[in-house]
Amino acid sequence: MMSDERSQAAELTSDLTGRLVDAVSEDAAVSRRAVLGGLGLAGAGAIGMSGSSAASQGGDDHEEGHDDGMNPHGAFGAVGEYAADSFDPHSFLRTFNTGHPDGDDDRVNSRVYERDGQRVREFTLTASLQEIEIAPGVTFPAWTYNGQVPGPTLRVTEGDVIRVKFTNGQEHPHTIHPHVKNVDPAMDGIPQNGPGVIDLNESTVYEWKAQPAGCHFYHCHSLPLKEHIHRGLYGALIVDPDPERVRENPRDYVNYQGPISDEYRETLVEEAKLRNHEYRADEVDEMVMIMNGFDTNFDGDNEVYAVNTQAFCYGVGSTDAENGEWEAGETVKPIKVKRDRPVRIYLINTIEFDLVNSLHTHSQFFDYYDHGTTLMPTHKTVDTIMQCQAQRGIVELDYSDHDPGLYMFHAHQSEFAELGWMSFFEVEA
């Protein structure tokens, strides 16, 4: 039997998930207002409802093989379960592609090599159309990098050359635009510069210098921008600080005008090492959270919200066999963290059609580094941070003085939380 705490959290996750799935599944043209109205009318007892649908593809922008309106994909179990072969947001959370192939897990066909005295980290990205699961049994016709939304997380060190071999396997023209300091306009990944848009079955190579250190991202910059981003063409691009560069130029990494003592310099160097995957970053529980949303009826308003694509995926699933109505312990589960290990979140807002998104942690305050470009916090001891689209930053949490148990976190746009952007940390001793 589950504890009362877990049982109640599972009931909440099940309740919200079931009502969201039911509302979206009932009518492919359902609006966010209708979904929220359904949540209110359903009442607290609406648990375990079943349903399976695909989000409709609206407008005139059709893909071969996708029907207008509803497109059932078959029920695969009780509401709350995600398909076993779908994108796994739990695996994505802690997967960083650094250019070093890792057997069968290398999904970006990467390599690292030296060229003219510089280290090159090479990745391969391909744009394609994929049906992705955004709520249990509800799919969405996404445009993806390497078949997933968000795209693979690319991680490099400051000063590296980032080399991306890009192929467009989708009928719409696409690009890759990086949010780094790029000094070559031909490599900006926009229609007007360099190779321009990449058409179906065409390829190009982008090269960018990894600068500045921080939490950045990449996305398609083809027009209309709102559709290419909303449909899923984005991913995290993390540039770790180089400790030796920090030692030589400490002022580049702090919002501080006072004297730089030797002690302060060494403090910054150690902070850089703790954030660099080649030094001491493994001492921190690092994870990537990309806040996104999905307009299931293509009316310019999101009906489903999530972190890392799947609504309520970091909620609490019931594995109580006596219940028999809702078991999602494999595909819906809280993020487990050790009480004695600091937590670092690379947080990125890619949401379209809403002006802002946010992260709020229950029973906890954190330090925030806007854009991740400083080694000292830009916001200290806060429990809510707001981001506009394309804004990102680093959140650092410490649960060392907390009792073990479940701690909720979610968007503090309350409707976003009710429509999928609600999660739990499970702090373990």
Q: What is the largest CA-CA distance in the chain?
A: 65
Phi, psi of 271 (to 5 degrees): -65, -40
Mean pLDDT of the chain: 87
Instruction: Tell how strand 177-178 and strand 138-145 pair up.
Output: unpaired
Structure confidence at residue 325 (pLDDT)? 64
Average the pLDDT over 196-216 and give the result: 98
* pLDDT, mean of residues 299-308: 95
Whether domain 90-282 has CATH 1.10.630.10: the reply is no
pLDDT at residue 321 in the model: 47
Please state which of the ranges 49-58, 258-267, 285-294, 334-343 shows the lowest mean pLDDT: 49-58
User: Is 254's pLDDT higher than 90?
Assistant: yes
Whether the model pTM is above 0.85: yes
Model pLDDT for residues 385-403, shown as the tens digit of each residue: 999 999 999 999 999 999 9
pLDDT tens digits, 54-92 = 444 443 344 433 333 333 333 233 457 898 777 999 999
C-alpha to C-alpha distance for 318 and 346, rounded to whole angstroms: 28
Residue type, 255: N
Tell me the C-alpha distance between 134 and 308, whole Å: 9
Count of C-beta atoms within a 10 Å radius of residue 248: 10
In this predicted model, what pLDDT tens digit does every residue of 18-51 receive, in sequence order? 889 888 876 666 777 676 766 654 443 332 222 3
Rounded CA separation 256/377 (Å): 11
- Out of 64-78, 180-194, 198-212, 289-303, least confident range: 64-78
Is 110 within 8 Å of 123 (Cβ atoms)?
Answer: yes
What is the residue type of 287?
M
- Residues in contact with 49: Cβ distance below 8 Å, sequence separation at least 6, in sequence order: 18, 19, 21, 22, 79
**pLDDT of the residue at 59:** 38
The DSSP code for 317 is -
pLDDT value at position 378?
Answer: 98
CA distance 125 to 108: 6
Residues 6+ apart with CB under 8 A from 48: 14, 18, 78, 79, 80, 325, 326
Cα–Cα separations (whole angstroms), residue 120 to 52, 95, 163, 370: 45, 20, 7, 27
User: What integer pLDDT is reported at residue 45 of this predicted model?
Assistant: 35
Q: Using 50, 70 and 90 to split pLDDT, how confident is the model at 3?
A: confident
Residue 330 — very low, low, confident or very high, per pLDDT cuts 50/70/90?
confident
Q: What is the 8-class DSSP label of residue 222?
A: P
Q: CA 267, 273, 274, 275 torsion: positive or negative?
A: positive
| Contact partners, residue 40, CB within 8 Å, separation at least 6 | none
Q: Give yes or no for a contact between 205 and 115, defined as CB atoms under 8 angstroms apart.
A: no
Confidence class for position 158, pLDDT limits 50, 70, 90: very high
pLDDT in tens, 354-376: 999 999 999 999 999 999 999 99
Q: What are phi and psi of 126, to 5 degrees?
A: -130, 130
Answer positive or negative: Cα dihedral of 189, 192, 193, 196.
positive
On the 0-12 / 13-18 / 19+ scale of CB atoms within 10 A, 261 is: exposed
Q: What is the pLDDT of residue 2?
A: 60
% of the chain surpassing 70 pLDDT: 84
Least reliable range by pLDDT among 81-95, 266-280, 317-331, 408-422: 317-331
H/E element, 21: helix 4-26
Residue 305 β-bridge partners: 293
Cβ(97)–Cβ(154) under 8 Å?
yes
pLDDT score at 58: 40
Question: Which segment of 50-54, 89-93, 276-280, 314-318 scores lowest on mean pLDDT?
Answer: 50-54
pLDDT for 262 beyond 90? yes
